């Protein structure tokens, strides 16, 4: 397939020739290379970027398929410009073994719209203590997390870091001291962030901090990186967009103050923040009414981040593309993804940067509609997603 009449992140005209799932050539005016029978896609002046990669996503299989399933999750990802997601293990049963994780990844592969890595829990069944399953994890499991909770006991977490150092596993941490969060969620995040950063440095174990949301946490990450700790971190679109003055909505960590948002934006500019991850957390209406935390995010992430970071804060589009594609690919060790280069995977997204659009929660592909952006006007609309040279989503 030849994508014609696109522009790159710098606004220069570019065509992209995709063959056998890879990018075969890139450059202006590639029409002469077209072979008989090869398809063309007219980008009509829109911007082509490497497709997005989500480090933090909940698709709810097994156990909570009434909120999202692999099919609807895949469709939501494709509609958001994603071709790969990293799935969290807070399912029912909890994902605690490699066989279950691999079986799920295969099912996602069969659907064919979006690749996935399934993470495994840090403690067995999130019991907070048992680490035996980590010792027998095969080498194919590279990422573990207790997302949704922090690991409360410091000794347990220290042992997990020690094991993961030996096994070259990255810990993705949800930093929350749950004895503190009911009365001070800022302290709860900051104190567990500092503990986990310390353990990462002490054991030289790779740590990725999920949904960093406070000034204190981002400053602690900056200091740890300065000292050379093997640490990366993500922020979510919602922690960049909302403050507690603009949104009353349950999500963990909660939306913060304007000063925290400013710290996250400074962290992005300074290269302290490595990635933007959605924490796509689908819930039914009933579960939201009962207090479930989280919001869907795959289909609004680019629009929210382009509007906030590029249009309002003047961040170059190339920097946003690094946060949503290149850096997540590197963190997950996905060779050939997250980059626009000859020989790389033909995983691409076409975005319209010029026209405003309104978020309509009823038009989402996700099974759940817990979307507090409903009715918001954004710039940056995904027009098409291409995975392995095949169109996985096209806006009407």
Interface residues toward Zn ion, by CB under 5 A: 147, 279
Catalytic residue, candidates 69, 97, 279, 347: 279
- Smallest gap, in angstroms, from Cβ of residue 58 to ligand DOR? 5
Applying CB under 6 A, does 247 fall inside the site for ligand DOR? Answer: no
Give residue number: closest CB to ligand DOR.
Answer: 294
Applying CB under 6 A, does 255 fall inside the site for ligand DOR? Answer: no
Q: Binder to ligand DOR among 174, 206, 361, 367 (CB under 6 A)?
A: 174
Q: Residue-wise over 123-159: b if at least 16 C-beta within 10 A, else e? A: bbebebeebebbeebeeebbbbbbbbbbbbeeebbbb
Return the residues of window 285-304 that contact ligand DOR according to CB under 6 A. 293-294
- Candidates 342, 348, 356; CA nearest to 311 is 356
Residue 69 or 279: the one with the smaller Cβ distance to ligand DOR is 279
- Smallest gap, in angstroms, from Cβ of residue 63 to ligand DOR? 12
Q: Which helix (H) or strand (E) element contains residue 47? A: strand 47-50
- Smallest gap, in angstroms, from Cβ of residue 114 to ligand DOR? 19
Residue 153 β-bridge partners:
none
Applying CB under 6 A, does 278 fall inside the site for ligand DOR? Answer: no
Q: What is the largest CA-CA distance in the chain?
A: 66
Residue 133 or 211: the one with the smaller Cβ distance to Zn ion is 211
- Smallest gap, in angstroms, from Cβ of residue 147 to Zn ion? 4
Distances (CA, A) of 215 to 162, 244, 261, 262, 266: 28, 15, 8, 8, 10
Applying CB under 6 A, does 146 fall inside the site for ligand DOR? Answer: no
Which one of ligand DOR, Zn ion, none interacts with residue 252, CB within 5 to 8 A by kind? ligand DOR
Distances (CA, A) of 105 to 74, 89, 259, 338, 393: 12, 12, 39, 20, 20
Q: Are 370 and 283 in contact (CB under 8 A)?
A: yes
The count of chain residues that interact with ligand DOR, using the rule CB under 6 A, is 11
Residue 373 or 393: the one with the smaller Cβ distance to ligand DOR is 373
Applying CB under 6 A, does 251 fall inside the site for ligand DOR? Answer: yes
| Token pair belonging to 79 | 């509609």
- Smallest gap, in angstroms, from Cβ of residue 148 to ligand DOR? 4
Distances (CA, A) of 15 to 1, 46, 54, 267: 10, 11, 26, 34
Applying CB under 6 A, does 147 fall inside the site for ligand DOR? Answer: yes
Active site residue 177: no
DSSP symbols for 292-320:
------TTTHHHHHIIIIIIIT---HHHH
Q: Are 126 and 101 in contact (CB under 8 A)?
A: no
Applying CB under 6 A, does 90 fall inside the site for ligand DOR? Answer: yes
- Smallest gap, in angstroms, from Cβ of residue 279 to ligand DOR? 6
Applying CB under 6 A, does 133 fall inside the site for ligand DOR? Answer: no
Binding mask 47-66 for ligand DOR (x = CB under 6 A): -----------x--------
Residue 80 or 294: the one with the smaller Cβ distance to ligand DOR is 294
Residue 127 β-bridge partners:
none
- Smallest gap, in angstroms, from Cβ of residue 177 to ligand DOR? 14
Helix (H, G, I), strand (E, B) or coil at 100: helix
Applying CB under 6 A, does 281 fall inside the site for ligand DOR? Answer: yes
Q: Is the peptide bond before 93 cis (omega within 30 degrees of 0)?
A: yes
Q: Are 81 and 380 in contact (CB under 8 A)?
A: no
| Token pair belonging to 10 | 């710098």
Which one of ligand DOR, Zn ion, none interacts with residue 90, CB within 5 to 8 A by kind? ligand DOR
Within 13 Å and on the Cβ side, how many CA atoms surround 311? 16
Residue 301 or 353: the one with the smaller Cβ distance to ligand DOR is 301
Return the residues of window 313-352 that contact ligand DOR according to CB under 6 A. none
Residue 147 or 177: the one with the smaller Cβ distance to Zn ion is 147
Interface with ligand DOR by CB under 6 A: which residues? 58, 90, 147-148, 174, 251-252, 279, 281, 293-294
Residues designated as active site: 279
């Amino acid at each position: 397939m030849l994508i014609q009449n696109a522009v790159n992140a710098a606004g220069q005209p570019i065509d992209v020739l995709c063959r056998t799932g890879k990018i075969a050539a890139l450059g202006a005016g590639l029409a002469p290379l077209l072979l008989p029978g090869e398809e063309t896609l007219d980008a009509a002046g829109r911007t082509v970027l490497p497709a997005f990669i989500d480090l933090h996503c909940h698709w709810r299989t097994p156990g909570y398929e009434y909120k999202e399933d692999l099919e609807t999750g895949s469709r939501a990802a494709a509609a958001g410009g994603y071709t790969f997601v990293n799935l969290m293990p807070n399912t029912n049963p909890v994902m605690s073994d490699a066989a279950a994780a691999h079986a799920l990844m295969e099912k996602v592969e069969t659907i064919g719209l979006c690749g996935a890595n399934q993470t495994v829990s840090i403690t067995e069944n999130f019991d907070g203590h048992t680490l035996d399953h980590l010792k027998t994890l095969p080498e194919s499991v590279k990422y573990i997390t207790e997302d949704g909770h922090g690991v409360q006991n410091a000794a347990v977490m220290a042992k997990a870091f020690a094991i993961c150092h030996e096994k070259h596993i990255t810990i993705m941490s949800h930093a929350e001291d749950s004895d503190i969060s009911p009365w001070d969620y800022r302290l709860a995040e900051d104190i567990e962030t500092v503990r986990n950063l310390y353990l990462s440095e002490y054991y030289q174990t790779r740590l990725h901090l999920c949904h960093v949301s406070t000034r204190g946490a981002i400053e602690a990450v900056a200091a740890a990186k300065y000292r050379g700790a093997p640490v990366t971190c993500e922020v979510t679109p919602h922690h960049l967009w909302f403050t507690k003055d603009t949104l009353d909505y349950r999500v963990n960590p909660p939306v913060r103050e304007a000063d925290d948002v400013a710290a996250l934006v400074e962290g992005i500019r300074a290269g302290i923040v490595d990635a933007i991850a959605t924490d796509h957390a689908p819930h039914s209406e009933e579960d939201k009414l009962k207090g479930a935390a989280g919001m869907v995010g795959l289909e609004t992430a680019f629009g929210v981040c382009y509007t906030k970071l590029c249009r309002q804060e003047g961040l170059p589009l190339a920097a946003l593309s690094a946060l949503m594609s290149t850096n997540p690919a590197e963190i997950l060790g996905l060779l050939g993804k997250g980059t626009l280069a000859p020989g790389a995977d033909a995983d691409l997204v076409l975005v319209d940067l010029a026209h405003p659009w309104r978020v309509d929660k009823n038009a989402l592909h996700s099974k759940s509609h817990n979307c507090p952006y409903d009715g918001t006007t954004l710039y940056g609309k995904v027009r098409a997603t291409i995975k392995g040279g095949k169109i996985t989503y096209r806006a009407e």
